[in-house]
A and B are shown apart, each in its own frame.
Chain A
Amino acid sequence: MHNESHGFFRQLPSALPGLSLIIVTMVVIRLWVEPWMAHTKVFGMEKPLTDAFHLNYILLGILCGLLYRNVIFGGKMPEIFVDGFKLSRLMIKTGIIMLGSLYTFSAIVQLGSMAIFLIGGFVIMTIIMVLWLGKLFGLDRSMTAVLANALSICGVSAAVATSPAVEAKASHVAYAIATILGFGILTMFISPFIGHELGLTDLQYGAWIGTGILNSGQVLAAALAFNPNVAPGTAVSIAEIWNIMRVISIPFAVFAVTIWYWAGKEESDSSGKKKTLGTLLVEKFPVFVIGFMVMVFFTSMGAFGDVGIKGGPPASETIKTLRLVMQWIFGFGLVGLGGFIDFKELRQAGGTPLKLGLIVGTTKYVLALVVVYLIKDYLVSI
């Protein structure tokens, strides 16, 4: 038995070295590397790193985290830095809650209604496709169930949330996570290029990646890599509404896949394993979404001053400072996220789960782009 008694505050001092490395990395990138890239000339080309490769502090931060783990530290993060890097998701969630300051309730209703339509359709389509392909390829029922939710909703969170309900083994979860993260890393880096090459607007791009990319952190990274600005109407403000709609659907999708899983089992096997939708909602609902909605409420009430929506009064000083702090917090969180990408572990992905993951992931990614392109006139900006 492992000892689970280590509290957050007791572990906090041990997080300081890793946290310091993350902060120093982002400070160097934002204060020195980015300004240097914006003025550098290579082979007579003006600013090739920013204009041709679309490099910015977000992509550089992820690359640094990735290099620390896989190159500088030889594939394993040193113990001294591990706890600090474990704060990365806390920072990403904190930034997402603060993003609530970009929206008013009317904007949320406008964007949310579009998002529900797209996200709902794609979640259902993906689950059906995975269940069908899983049967076609003769994949284990638990593995298929984990992949169905991992590929349809929110990657890692959904895979972990589904696993106990469908009797998944650790190896099933590992395969599913390695597959979706491998695919997600690829899409995270190529999406900004595709978006710029196709001349997508922030609204179209945000809707596309919010639907087509599998993992919350990767959606955030791909949005900020396309446009690092944090303001109403930018790619990150659109993509995160889509992402939040998807995260909210986790308990519903876990319920649906669990029903499918147990429907195919013998009645006698199923005692005590099924959970009601109500129980799943209480257990799995992502509480940070409530924090986001409270932030939207205060913003709508004018607690922080003007939001700075296009055509309206400029953003207040409080809102401007909030957005600046958000950029730094996202930057820190994404250096940490890069530090969790382990090439060795991604090699665990393979065989039929990988084949299925690539087919479904690519279909979803491309189809999301096609659908967003087709309905672009119906997408309403905020």
Chain B
Amino acid sequence: MTTQQKTGSETIGAAGPKSKMTLFKDDRAEDIGAIILTVLIVAVIVLLKMK
């Protein structure tokens, strides 16, 4: 039986949701999360430096 792994269940030595290295559903969701976080950080820095 094949074990179907979702991208994002990136584990070290084990497979499955318990060992997922991310709080996100999968890699794609984590990538989008990183983009949103970057936008927030950059916006705060730009606004602070505009003063």
Contacts and interface: CB of A to CB of B under 8 A. Distances in A.
B7 A161 contact: yes
Interface of B: 2-5, 7-17, 20-25, 27-35, 37-38, 41-42, 45-46, 48-49
Interface in A152-191: 156-157, 160-161, 163-164, 167-170, 173-174, 177-178, 181
Interface string A335-375: 00000111011101000000000000000000000000000
B51 to A, nearest CB: 11
Nearest to A5: B25
Contact of B31 (A93, A161, A174, A321): A93
Q: Contact size class for A?
A: 35 or more
Contacts of A98: 38, 41-42
Contacts, number: 129
Nearest to A291: B35
A287 interface: yes
Contact of B3 (A89, A168, A322, A325): A168
A202 B22 CA distance: 31
B7 to A, nearest CB: 6
What secondary structure prevails in chain A residues at the interface with B?
helix
B14 A160 contact: no
B38 A97 contact: yes
Given A97-B38, A325-B45, A164 B22 contact: no
Contact of B27 (A168, A169, A286, A340): A286
Given A4-B17, A157-B10, A160-B10, A90 B22 contact: yes
A181 B12 contact: yes
B29 A8 contact: yes
Contacts of B14: 170, 174, 345
A287 B17 contact: no
Given A94-B34, A170-B16, A342-B12, A86 B45 contact: no
Contacts of B37: 90, 94
